Structure 1
Amino acid sequence: MSRGLLEAFNSNIASPEAGQEGEGAVSHRQTGISRRSFLKFGMTISAAAGGGMLLGFSIPAVAAEANAGWARKSVIGGDASDEPKGGVFAPNAFIRIDRNGMVTLVMPKVDMGQGVYTSIPMLLAEELEVPLSSVTLDHAPPDDKLYGDPLLGGGQITGGSTSIRYAWQPMRQAGATARVLLVAAAAERWRLDPASCHAQAGEVVHTATGRRIGYGKLVDAAAKLPPPHDVPLKKPEAFTLVGKPTDRLDSAEKADGIARFGFDTRLPGMRYAVIVNSPVLGGTLESVDDARARKVPGVQDVVKIENAVAVVGAHTWAGKQGAAALDIKWNDGPAAKLSTQQIASDLAEAAKRDGAVARKEGDVGKTFGAAATRVDAVYEQPLLAHATMEPINCTVHVRPDGCDVWVGTQVPTIARAAAAKVTGLPPEKIAIHNHFLGGGFGRRLEVDAIVQALKIGKQVDAPVKVIWTREEDIQHDMYRPCYYDKISAALDANGKPIAWQHRIVGSSILSRFAPAVMKNGVDPDAVEVAADLPYDLPNQLVDYVRQEPGTVPTAFWRGVGATRGTFVVESFIDELAAHAKTDPVEYRRALLTHSPRAANVLDVATRAAGWGNPLPPGQGRGVSVMHAFGSYLSMVAEVTVNKDGEVTVNRVVCAVDCGMAVNPKTIEAQMEGGVVFGITGVLWGEITIKDGRVQQNNFTDYRMLRINETPKIEVHLVQSTEAPGGIGETGTAVLFPAITNAIFAATGKRVRKLPVGTQLKTA
């Protein structure tokens, strides 16, 4: 999800304090921070059942007083059965410290590869003064009031690159408050002034005498103390953990196979259902002859729902073999003739309409009329699949008195609401057991597969795991929308843009996902980046025309608005530089006088990449700049284009100013993953439709970047005094135009339509 969406959600919350702009760069390390002041905290302390201290905090934007049960105790990515008894005050995140001194963080976010199961505990451990190894995690249960993210409208959602932005102040404040209480409890026991004691490595120490006592022995006394107010947080120079490159806590589990993903769910008596969806998007089931399928060894049942058939078996192989034996007749419905060509034609026709205005500055019409030069371009981007490493799956057990759902989801409360609707059960009778996500990228913001699994589970008297094959996964995804952009600039005599007009035509995800944020016909995500450029452009008109691609379902895809918007804007800026016969870096720098952080990352990236140094024939460098998710990035890509038009990305250099870097290793990993994901998307990613059917069905025809094709990737973290910005989606978004601009530098051919594919092949 997008920065524009976050701003729409967050319009009633004051802005952070202004900080100094970042200057200089330090590779893989970052220092300095300015305190955010826009969150105010209510602190509560209560005794945990069975002894111990329970500390929570509330963010007034979303939290309210209520009683709620604790999440089921779980290891990272798994489930366990021990549940603390009794109610607690309803904050949106918790610390629990038991009598053994173990700290439990009830995690409101889920991990899908972005590393938050390390970086968020780092914030807590820093202020609490405990080793990171002593912090364990429980997945939070579904509860928007307890665990809602104010940056995402108060929903319990992992997305929008908000996890660290959400946790930055509250987690440190909660840790610091707990620390002060523990020190006070020790001082009271020793009858000393608390100022003479300090916390260190999970203990309270009396400096003068050297007396020590572990947190576990203090929790009962600490829980009875009144909560302090306005506890000061550490200064950055005092950090011992935050800002230091830290190995991820979940790496070992994922490497040795202990980590549990949704696909790893195993339950006594569980059955396996292999799904066959209608091949036409929006089609329905007419009839099915399942006689042959029922004869397959291991097949136990065949279940029908409105748009799919599931073969239920004792194991996956039985389900897969039974599915292949089905004789199904489908009602194709109105999408029977839908094609990519028709969708593209509809987008182009829709571009002739005036759109809903997303930004209007100055007098664009008058300026264009008086301009010396006008440059026009059309950019087109295709439907894209998520193609997550872990295919879609969901395990359910639907009973008359309750329902359990085992899944990896980015939206546990939305998942529970969907389950309540399908089963007719009250929400409190539905348990969502969340897991590691084997890739999210926005796909697991959707609950279509969960709903489908529940409809099947209602007809099976046992736990049932519903599995989508890779073919079903790719052919029935919720796709990144296709877009059609008309963009124009009026230039003065020196080639500088003095007017800018940009029309965005495409699907509206938010009209379905969060209709309340749609204002005056504008989808904030669709116009992300485009409506808030870092460049100094005195006259601007940006508008949006909604045009849905028939029955094709659309959804978020690793920074939808930022990814599509940055490709268009940064490609067009490069075109204007070429038209002005000016170096692309110098052209951008001249337009960034009012955005010093953007100018700085541009300088850092281009210096590190050796911008201006000659390259052999057939090679080129491209550059891009982006401000999104509260972060500033610039990327330089080096490519080779051979005589057959095939593109190889040789090197990518990225400069990142995301404010304070909690864990530099996580940021580097996210940049590297974003680059790999982005290369796949820009060079080959495309879903095409013929006769209402998706034509791609596996990695054989939906190509992925291979490990031997991965370029050298360099990440340079820029010093900043700002609070953290988002990072998970940024690397993919800023990469697209860096590659296509590099292709232009290498070949002189401008890429305006994605994917690059075969369009560079010579005749």
Structure 2
Amino acid sequence: MNSHVKIDKTRISQPDAADLSRRHFLVGTAAAGLALGYSAVPGMLGADQALAAPANFDPSVWYSIAPDGIVTVTCGKADMGQHIASTMAQIVAEELGANWKDMRVQLASNDPKFNDPVLGVQITGGSWSTMMNFEAMSRAGAAGRIALTEAAAGIMGVPASELVVRDSMIAHAKAKKQMSFGDVVKSGKATKTFTPDELKAIKLKTPDRYTLIGVSVPQLDIPSKTNGAAKYGIDVMLPGMVYGAVVTPPVRYGATVTSVDDSAAKKLPGFIKAVTLDDKTGTTTGWVVAVANTYANARKAADALKVAYDGGPNAKLTSESLLTEAKRLQALDDSGEFFVKDGDTKAALGTAAKVLEAEYTTSINIHAPMEPMNATAEFKGDILHVYSGNQFATRSGAIAAGAAGIDPKFVVMHQMWLGGGFGRRLDADMMVPAVQAAKAVGKPVKVIYSRENDMTMDFSRPLTYQKIKAGLDGDGKLIAMNHDVVSAWPTKRWGIPDFLSPSVDKKGSLDAFTVNGADFFYTVPNHNVRAILNEMAHTATPSGQLRSVAPGWTFWAVESMVDELAHAVGRDPAQYRIDMLDGKGANAGGAQRLRNTLLAAMGLAGYGTRQLPQGEGMGVACVSSQERATASWTACVAHVAVAPSGEVKVKKLTVATDVGTQVHPDNIRAQVEGAALWGLSLALYEKATLKDGGIEQTNFDSYTPLRMSQLPEVAVAVIANGEHATGVGEPAVTVVAPAIGNAVFNAVGARVRSLPISAEAVKAAMKA
């Protein structure tokens, strides 16, 4: 069913190439108010407003202005607490000239007209949202302002060039006339349309003229989220709705149900049916859903079902077997595909004055957002309605259709607020049991995962194995690096060929989302990066995109190795990096911005300015996350104290990030702080393991993220230089682990190359 998802991969590497086609900017007066995808279907977003509203002004599909002057921005991105809906509204309001108190937000349906202007699909991830939508939303706002101004000029009988737009008012000083946005909308005179060329020709504001962008205005979504009005997927209530609780197999993937005994469940109150999933999309295997009149009764029924399984081909696999297979694959000369192939590493390593080799590993990691996975499905005639918070509506709609056995055009996705996502809700597994149960019982069904369901069936961050071989010349300069990255390929699992990338030698395709970051901005004349698919891990632990994706493990290896090289030649690790960030060739621009963030973090942290107590150390790292073409330049200085037991306490994290243009300063700071703490959690505390084909950790008693009592001081420096806006939700995740690892070495001389950094590993390295 994924064949219905169409993605132009070239857009991913061209974040500035906004699609300014007329379908994104339809300027005119709507005959019956705002119509947002499938609005003819009762209950769909926009349908109710369309029935009741007088003529609204719709400058684009992204927002509408009502006769009372209220501007409602439709956000095509999933809002999971990062306030992206409010950010989109802020960008529109800046160019529109609206008063912030007149702004409102709502979430888009899966109508294709709400596809991302750059990616061409509805997806939220990669820290792309602001970066890729800034220009499109700005031009949408500007187009509306121009249309309103020209209409007002005609009404007032004055030249449009003499009008001033501010705070939702259009004024002519000399004539002492003014009209509100609402007045112009009520007149019905705002009917201007723009061709794509005309839209591209609109001159947007320069940063020195911003009045809203760069201001920490009140987030529009906070009131509804604090008073209970905001509706999350778990809040959905439909007439006649029943509930489903899933029974999952002991094996993560590949099991099949051989029998279901529901005799005990039939004796329980409210039990309706046990449905064995027949998932042609391959999203789930071996699942059963118990349907009952309440969720509590569904849980009891699920516990009462006796399900027998064939464990399938992965039933005996462990984390150790996945790692062994990764090492075997890396040792093969013909494994994988080249992501980077510059110069001649073999020759350079053969003549190097010093060669260092190291292996780096990361464990399986689980998303575990606070709102459990959930979905509600309802069939209305030929139309399937799915209510859920989702990060990839385009693909998820296709999966829901596949689960139902219908064409995706008959699936209406009702986007809800997300109680956390972090990449977990890029997947649609929770929709499959809801859809098939609703079809089986003929009623709307809400499925809610238990925490155990979600942890054991998460599309997790994959276990990774990396080997780096680096060569130095007689002056200690890095002249060659081979970097092999072995893992499951999360993006390949999606089954969307256009999301894979051709290898640099054009001999095959690779999942760039497993190696991004390895193409760093250091100047190294001979550099190879090989992406190797671990098919065993790929099938046994179907992996997904966890906040920060590949840079979360590639920079762990790169920034640890760079530190090791600096120490091997007796150089300060920070200065060693600065020297390699010389901006030569293809690294021009990016290297300088990254160097500046490193210097900013060092200065704020006081790196190298004082003698630290015994057992304490500072470590540095700097990254260009997420992808090279969509980087936010980020650096970290970690200050740690290491006990004789090997226990690591992080005293302070200092993070500097270059975001280009900052839309909402407070939100950026919050995002960077949260990302840094997530990076700390991954660095020291989080680990899942596979045993007998299943994930062993089932709740927060055994999978132990960072606790409040373990929080260090976090200092953040945001560099806003007016360049193109970048993303902030993920980059700081990637920089923290290597900074901590490097700090541990500086504190006690212990080099740990596996995440998470455990006290046992540190103590063992101290003794080595």
**Residue from 286, 307, 319 that aligns with 2:258:** 286
Local SS of the residue matching 1:713 = strand
Q: Distance in 2 between matches of 1:140 and 1:308?
A: 31
Letter in structure 2 aligned against 1:701: S
Distance 1:695 1:504 in 2: 25
Contact 1:339 1:690 in 2 (8 A): yes
Partner secondary structure for residue 49 of structure 2: coil
5+ residue gaps, structure 1, are 1-6, 17-35, 55-66
Q: State how far apart, in whole Å, the 2-side matches of 1:756 and 1:168 are.
A: 38
2:64 aligned residue: 96
Instruction: Pick from 290, 298, 311 the counterpart of residue 270 of structure 2.
Output: 298
Output one character per residue of 1:57-105: Cα deviation in whole Å (capped at 9) or x when no partner: xxxxxxxxxx965598999xx9873336999999984221111111121
1:525 and 2:492 matched: no
1:335 paired with 2:335, answer no
State how far apart, in whole Å, the 1-side matches of 2:394 and 2:698 are.
31
Q: Deviations over 1:101-121 (max 9, x none)?
A: 111212111111222111111
Q: Which runs of 5+ in 2 are unaligned?
A: 1-6, 279-285, 503-507, 584-590
Query: Could you say what secondary structure the match of 1:388 adopts?
Result: coil
Q: Using a 3 Å threshold, how does the CA distance of structure 1 residues 460 and 69 change in structure 2: closer, same or farther?
A: closer
Q: Indicate yes or no: 2:394 matched with 1:413.
A: yes
Map 1:381-460 → 2, pairs under 5 A: 381-460=362-441
Structure 2 residue matching 1:448: 3-state secondary structure: coil
| Residue in 2 that maps onto 1:626 | 623
Q: Percent identity?
A: 34
Q: Which of 301-310 and 83-92 deviates more?
A: 83-92
- Provide the C-alpha distance between the structure 1 equivalents of 2:137 and 2:564, rounded to a whole number of angstroms: 45
State whether residues 283 and 331 of structure 1, in contact with CA within 8 Å, keep that contact through their aligned partners in structure 2.
yes
Q: Secondary structure at the match of 2:514?
A: coil
Q: Deviations over 1:543-591 (max 9, x none)?
A: 1221121421111111211111111110111111111111111111111
Give the corresponding residue for 1:131: 99
Partner of 1:237: 208
Query: Do the aligned partners of 1:646 and 1:760 also contact (CA within 8 Å) in 2?
Result: no
Task: Give distance in 1, aligned partners of 2:114 and 2:382.
Answer: 26
| Distance change (3 Å), C-alpha of 1:39 and 1:224 | closer
Pairwise CA distance, 1:747? 2.1
- 2:18, 2:118 within 8 Å by CA — same for their partners in 1? no
Equivalent residue, structure 2, for 1:188: 154
Structure 2 CA distance for aligned equivalents of residues 353 and 89 of structure 1: 62
Q: Distance in 2 between matches of 1:322 and 1:665?
A: 47
Q: Does 1:47 align with 2:17?
A: no
Aligned mates of 1:601, 1:37 — CA distance in 2: 26
* Cα separation, partners in 2 of 1:178 and 1:403, compared to 1, 3 Å: same
In the alignment, which residue of structure 2 is the partner of 1:515?
497
1:32 maps to which residue?
none
Contact 1:73 1:138 in 2 (8 A): no
Residue 267 in structure 1 maps to residue 238 in structure 2: yes
1:69–1:88 Cα contact (<8 Å) kept: no
Structure 2 counterpart of 1:223, which letter?
A
CA distance in 2, matches of 1:336, 1:536: 45
Q: Distance in 1 between matches of 2:189 and 2:633?
A: 42
Who is 1:667 aligned against?
A: 668
For residues 581-620 of structure 1, the aligned pairs below 5 Å read 581-594=570-583, 595-612=591-608, 613-620=610-617
Task: Give me the CA root mean square deviation.
Answer: 2.7
CA distance in structure 2 between the partners assigned to 1:477 and 1:762 by the alignment? 32
AA in 1 matched with 2:449: W
Alignment partner of 2:290 out of 287, 311, 314 = 311
In 2 relative to 1, CA 321–12 (structure 1 residues): closer, same or farther, beyond 3 Å?
Answer: closer
The one-letter amino acid of 2:315's match is A
Match of 1:149 among 90, 96, 116: 116
Distance change (3 Å), C-alpha of 1:294 and 1:647? farther
User: Cα gap change, 1:456/1:70 in structure 2, threshold over 3 Å: closer, same or farther?
Assistant: closer
Match of 2:540 in 1: 551
Distance in 2, matches of 1:702 and 1:10, equals: 38
Amino acid at match of 1:553: P
Show the counterpart of 1:349: 328
For 2:641, give the aligned amino acid. Answer: T
Seen in structure 2, the aligned counterparts of structure 1 residues 234 and 116 have a Cα distance that, compared at 3 Å, is same
| TM-score normalized with structure 1 length | 0.89
Matching of residues 557-576 of structure 1 within 5 Å: 557-576=546-565
Name the TM-score, length of structure 2 as normaliser.
Answer: 0.89
The C-alpha deviation readout for 1:310-343, integer Å capped at 9, x for no partner, is 2222222212222222222111111121111111
Q: 1:333 to 1:89 in 2, by over 3 A?
A: farther
**Residues 761 and 239 from structure 1, CA distance in 2 versus in 1: closer, same or farther, beyond 3 angstroms?**
closer
Counterpart of 2:338 in 1: which secondary structure? Answer: strand
Q: Where is the helix percentage greater, Structure 1 or Structure 2?
A: 2
- Structure 1 164/578 Cα, relative in aligned 2: closer, same or farther at 3 Å? same
How many pairs were matched up?
A: 720
Give the SS at the match of 1:403: strand
* One-letter amino acid matched to 1:110: A
Cα 1:189–1:81 change in 2 (3 A) is closer
* Greater relative CO (CA pairs within 8 A, separation 6+): 1
Superposed displacement of residue 38, structure 1: 6.6
Is the 8 Å Cα contact of residues 216 and 666 (structure 2) preserved in structure 1? yes
2:461 maps to: 480
Partner of 1:22: none
Range with greater deviation from structure 2 (194-203 or 305-314): 305-314
Query: Map of 1:14-53 to 2, 5 A cutoff?
Result: 40=20, 42=22, 43-50=25-32
